[in-house]
Amino acid sequence: MNTSPIEYFKPINDLQLQELLEKHSGRFTLLTGGDFTPRLEETRPVMIDLQSLNKAQVLYKEGVYHVGGLVTLQELQDTFSQWHDLVAAISVEGGWNLRNSLSVDNFLRSAGARSPLLICLRALGAEVTLQPEGAALTLEEYIRGNCMDRTRYVETLSFAQPEGLAYEQVARTPKDLPILGMAVVKTRHQSYNVVCGGSSDWIEPVILADRAPETELLLQRALRDAGDQWASAEYRQSTAAVLLNRCLDKLAQEVDA
């Protein structure tokens, strides 16, 4: 942790932010809300706190949600309160005070392959826009290599309004992180994005055209090497088929309803 004197700035508009970023280029750390794993060992002498900028909003535009990087998990849960499975997934991430503390930006930096919310966001095919350079990355790209850089932040996390989202998990207790978690998103193109998590390593997403017969085979293949200290690959392969059917049934019921 840095114990030497630091300079702290809290810009109140994008212009001020821009000036600070230019002035302190290469010397700053961005503070983007309550932090799950703050990189306090970093020794950059300048801290730029983004909380007074308007980065904690959820916008819906042309069928796409844009979630600000400083939106907390609780705000995310409140915004999507009708998405019951997403709410359930967020509630597993942590209790009320943690959800009030943790921003989307910091969540994405710290979440691992066992994270229920991340499983859902991956299934939603989310993308992130990073500032200050304005780069757009898929969530998959971001979480697998770009998320630890403290000199840029997630300005928005975006995903299209799906036809439906279903999440199921197997865990030791109702609010434990999953041994196997699965989110299935039915897209507006009528395909299904299936994302599994719960193991120590990332499991590749599977995209299904429909409830096709090869579904199980695809899942088996995706989970072939998914054994770790938490569960065997064999167990995950078998259970994934069960969870997939439950998710697809839920989505079918949603459509019926």
Partner 1 sequence: MILDLLINDKEYTTHIKGQERLLDVLRKLGFFGAKSGGCKRGECGACTVLMDGKPINTCMFLALQAQGHQLETIEAAGEHPDQGWKKTSGFDPIQRAFIESGSIQCGYCTPAMILAARALLENNPSPDEAEVREALSGVLCRCTAYVKPVQAVLKAAEYMRWQERWFDPALQPDSKPYQPKVVQQDDIPLTETIGKSEVKVDAIKLAQGKPAFTADLNLPGTLHAKLLKSPYAHARITSIDASAARALPGVAAVLTWEDIPRVVYSTAGQSDPIPGPLDMFSLDNKVRFVGDRVAFVAAETPEIAEQALSLIKVEYEVLPLILDMRDALKPGSPRIHDEPEYVNFADSEPAINLAAKIRIDIGDVDKGFSEADQIFEQEYIVPKVQQAHIEPHVTLTYWDEDNRLVVRTSTQVPFHARRILAPVLGLPVKRIRVIKPRIGGGFGNKQEVLIEDIAAHLTIATGRPVLFEMSREEEFIASRSRHPMRVRMRTGVKNDGTMTANEMYALSDTGAYGCHALTVTGNTGQKSMGLYVGDGVYRQSPNIRFHADIVYTNTPPAGAYRGYGVPQGYWPLDRHMDNIARKLGMSPIDFKLKNALHSGEYQPFSTAWNEGREPVPEIIDTIGLEACARQGKEAIGWDEKFGNETWRHVPGQPHLRRGIGMATMMQGTAIPYLDMGGASIKINDDGSFNLLVGATDLGTGSDTLLAQIAAEALGVLPADIIVISSDTDTTPFDVGAYASSTSYISGMAVLKAATEVAGKLKERAANIFKDRGLDVPAGDIILKDRHAAAPGGESVSISDLALDSLHWRQQEQIMASASHVSPKCPPPFAAQFATVLVDIETGQVTVEDLIMAVDSGVIINPVNAAGQIEGGIAQALGYGVSEEMVYDEQGRPREVDLVDYHIYRADEMPNIKSIFVETYERSGPYGAKAVAEIPLDGAAPAIGNAVMDACGANIFDNPVTPEKVWRALQQQS
The residues that touch partner 1, with contacts defined as CB under 8 A, are 1-6, 8, 10, 31, 33-38, 40, 47, 49, 51-52, 74, 91, 94-102, 170-177, 179-180, 229, 231-232, 235, 238-239, 242-243
The residue (of 100 and 138) whose beta carbon lies closer to partner 1 is 100
CB proximity list for 120: less than 8 A, separation 6 or greater: 85, 86, 89, 165, 167, 183, 185, 195
| Minimum distance, C-beta of residue 256 to partner 1, in the bound complex (Å) | 16
Token couple for 184: 């299935």
The residue (of 49 and 141) whose beta carbon lies closer to partner 1 is 49
3-state SS of the chain: helix, strand, coil percent to 5?
35, 25, 40
CB proximity list for 147: less than 8 A, separation 6 or greater: 108, 109
Query: For residue 253, how many other CB atoms are within 10 A of its CB?
Result: 11
| Minimum distance, C-beta of residue 17 to partner 1, in the bound complex (Å) | 16
The residue (of 102 and 130) whose beta carbon lies closer to partner 1 is 102
The residue (of 36 and 202) whose beta carbon lies closer to partner 1 is 36
CA-based radius of gyration for the chain: 19
| Minimum distance, C-beta of residue 162 to partner 1, in the bound complex (Å) | 25
Main-chain phi, psi angles of 50, to 5 degrees: -95, 5
The residue (of 35 and 163) whose beta carbon lies closer to partner 1 is 35
What interhelical angle do 84-93 and 116-123 show, nearest 10? Answer: 140
Token couple for 17: 């932010």
CA atoms within 13 A on the CB side of 56: 19
- For residue 104, give the amino acid letter: V
| Minimum distance, C-beta of residue 221 to partner 1, in the bound complex (Å) | 20
The residue (of 12 and 136) whose beta carbon lies closer to partner 1 is 12
| Minimum distance, C-beta of residue 136 to partner 1, in the bound complex (Å) | 28
| Minimum distance, C-beta of residue 10 to partner 1, in the bound complex (Å) | 8
The residue (of 158 and 169) whose beta carbon lies closer to partner 1 is 169
| Minimum distance, C-beta of residue 154 to partner 1, in the bound complex (Å) | 17
- State the Cα–Cα distance between residues 159 and 165, nearest whole angstrom: 12
